A and B are shown apart, each in its own frame.
Chain A
Amino acid sequence: MSTAGKYFSLFLGYLHINAKGLLEYRVSSLIALFGSLLNSAIWLVFWWVFFRRFPNISEWQFVHLFTIWAVLNVALAFVSVFYNVYKIPAIINEGKLEYYLVRPKNALFHLLIARMRLVDLVEAFIWFISFIILKPELPAVILFLVMSVISSAIIHGFLLILGSLGFFLKSADGIGTELYNALITFSTYPNWIFGGATKWIIFTVIPAGFISYVPVQVIYNRVYWWILGSLGFAVLLNVVGCVVFSRGLKYFETGNTFVLRAD
């Protein structure tokens, strides 16, 4: 079997074992799914009421907002297939990284696929169906899927960079959580209303613009060059994430800095 085949086989092995884990706790998983859908529904009702009162803000309507929620939720579900990307600082600080280091597979890939939150894929499916009902056109559906995959890659790269800082900063967990929350918050708001420095921030430091503004531009206004732009940004983030992780790994293996309270 080729190296790629062996890695794919490992991915399938983890998919199988995570699916079994999900079935072992199917009731709690379903409750979590229901809770998440309810949370999204409450926000959508809020926005629906808002847009009924103000139907058009900078030419954007409720349908656009629904689309960014759908893209974000499908993207987050894809990221959940690599669920450990959320846990990198904890994996480093709690010494769990050693499990992956003593295995013959690439430590980063192995770590990322080891935990999957597969119940999120059910949620993604519901959002996907909802989008089809909202806009039953094949090109729009294809573009929706493409932009969801690219958005997931952007979120993944963003989390990978933040998580890998855990090698260098003991407080990376807290900083990462704050920045991730900011990303999600900006991604679920009609961030096209912002301009100037805020717009610059949502396309760089907190790349929420790529997850909300860009998919709407691509799906509704067919601004195709944005696909390449966001794909390039996704690749860049993930490459930088891999570099930071591999530098951090070297630092971990050769340095092992500890911070202790002296008194």
Chain B
Amino acid sequence: MCIEVNRVSKQYTLWKIKGWTRRERQVIEAVKDVSFRVEPGRALALIGPNGAGKSTMIKLLCGILSPTQGSIRVLEMDPFKDRSRLAYRISSVFGQRSQLWYHLPPIDTFQLLGRIYDIDRVELKKRMKELIELFDLSSFLYQPVRKLSLGQRMRCEIAAALIHKPKILFLDEPTIGLDVVARSTVIDILRDLNRHRNVTIILTSHDTGDIERICEDVIVLNEGKIVLESKIREMRKNFFHSKIIEIEFAEQPNDLNLLPGVRVFDQNGPVVKLEVDLKTCDVNEVVSRIVACNAVRDITIQDPPLESIIQHIYLSGYSAEREAGQNAQIDG
């Protein structure tokens, strides 16, 4: 097992200042009785609203914080007690914090990391060559980091995190602030690392697009608790009770002849998006009726965005914990 989290809780003490002298002690439970397991080579997303406990969970897994209750094993080690030893085998990228030296080229940070991780010169040279090729860094390797675009910087961040060949990569909001192209590049790299290089990925992100493209498994946290633990495709299946049909008509449609359970989701000239409630009606029937009445150029049938499912989960307070039991295992 790569990661084993068993009934972990983490409490913080909060002192609220009230007035001039009064302070009120309050205990905040950032993580509450959380249990899960991750097999080697998997990609797991930790998602949830702000304050859900995602970042605290990552810090617990890295050994930065110790749990108030429960136990954690990462690569057969206690991350808090064996932090230095574990550091050789894991790595982390925090999207809002850089490990690169701002005024110097990325190559200098790579060489410094070689010393931090005790990598000998020959091995470091070989490793850097691989990473430079993999991340296509050669064109800006000798430029000061301050002159790099955000996307180039993030590629360097991830390359730097991989210099010591970690088995697990923890990523906290790795695509924050990136434009569409840079985001796509970073996601492709992470997916390649996971699928082809067997690096276990634990990711937190607010972007459901990132999660869908990188991860197979998902844990939804809310107020420190697991509210859903599932494979992403199963989550889609269990929580998708609708489909989106995008139709491009030959001309502006006169009468859509909609069945009950079908609503216009969006319309832009001859392009109409319909949301079909699968409990009420059948997609085939909806399509047949529309095609029978109108000239259609193109039709696509999609699932609704993951965003709306997660919103639904948060709002409904769904708890898979109850269904899956305390020690549900995420496995292949």
Contacts and interface: CB of A to CB of B under 8 A. Distances in A.
B83 A101 contact: yes
B101 A21 contact: yes
B101 A17 contact: yes
Query: Quick one: which of A9, A17, A96, A102 has the most chain B CB within 10 A?
Result: A102
Contact of B112 (A14, A104, A258, A263): A14
A20 B97 contact: no
B12 interface: yes
A96 B15 CA distance: 22
A202 B13 CA distance: 38
A1 interface: yes
Contacts of B1: none
Given A10-B116, A101-B83, A258 B111 contact: no
B87 A102 contact: yes
Q: Which of B17, B99, B115 is packed against the most chain A CB atoms within 10 Å?
A: B115
A259 B116 contact: no
A111 B103 CA distance: 19
A235 to B, nearest CB: 25
A106 B116 CA distance: 10
Contacts of A9: 115
Given A13-B111, A24-B103, A24-B144, A103 B17 contact: no
B18 interface: yes
Instruction: Select the residue from A14, A254, A258, A262 with max chain B CB neighbours within 10 A.
Output: A262
Contacts of B84: 104-106
B64 interface: yes
Q: Determine which residue in B59, B64, B111 has the highest number of CB atoms from chain A within 10 A of its CB, and name it.
A: B64
A222 interface: no
Contact of B16 (A20, A101, A255, A260): A260
Contact of A13 (B59, B90, B103, B115): B115
Contacts of B103: 21, 24-25
A95 interface: yes
B50 to A, nearest CB: 15
A234 B115 CA distance: 30
A17 B24 CA distance: 46
Given A17-B101, A101-B63, A10 B14 contact: no
B92 A102 contact: yes
Contacts, number: 95
Nearest to B118: A6
B64 A259 contact: no
Nearest to B62: A102
A109 to B, nearest CB: 12
B36 interface: no
Given A13-B111, A20-B104, A104-B117, A95 B97 contact: yes
Interface string A3-47: 000100110111001001100110000000000000000000000
Contacts of B64: 98, 101-102, 253
A99 B112 contact: no
Nearest to A110: B116
A262 B112 contact: no
Contacts of A204: none
A94 B62 CA distance: 18
A105 B87 CA distance: 9
Contacts of A103: 87, 116
Given A24-B144, A102-B62, A104-B84, A257 B111 contact: no
B108 A20 contact: yes
Interface string B92-109: 101001010101100011
B129 interface: no
B66 interface: yes
A256 interface: yes
Nearest to A3: B118
Interface string A82-111: 000000000000011011011111100010
A195 B161 CA distance: 57
Given A17-B104, A21-B104, A261 B17 contact: yes
A96 B96 CA distance: 11
Contacts of B14: 257-260
Task: Kindly list the 3 A-B residue pairs having the minimum CB-CB distance in the complex, ordered from nearest.
Answer: A13-B115, A104-B87, A262-B16
Given A255-B12, A257-B15, 6 more contacts: A10-B116, A96-B97, A101-B64, A104-B116, A105-B84, A260-B17
Interface of A: 1, 6, 9-10, 12-14, 17, 20-21, 24-25, 95-96, 98-99, 101-106, 110, 253-263
16 contacts: A10-B116, A13-B115, A13-B116, A20-B104, A20-B108, A21-B101, A24-B144, A98-B59, A101-B62, A101-B64, A101-B83, A102-B91, A106-B84, A257-B15, A258-B12, A258-B14
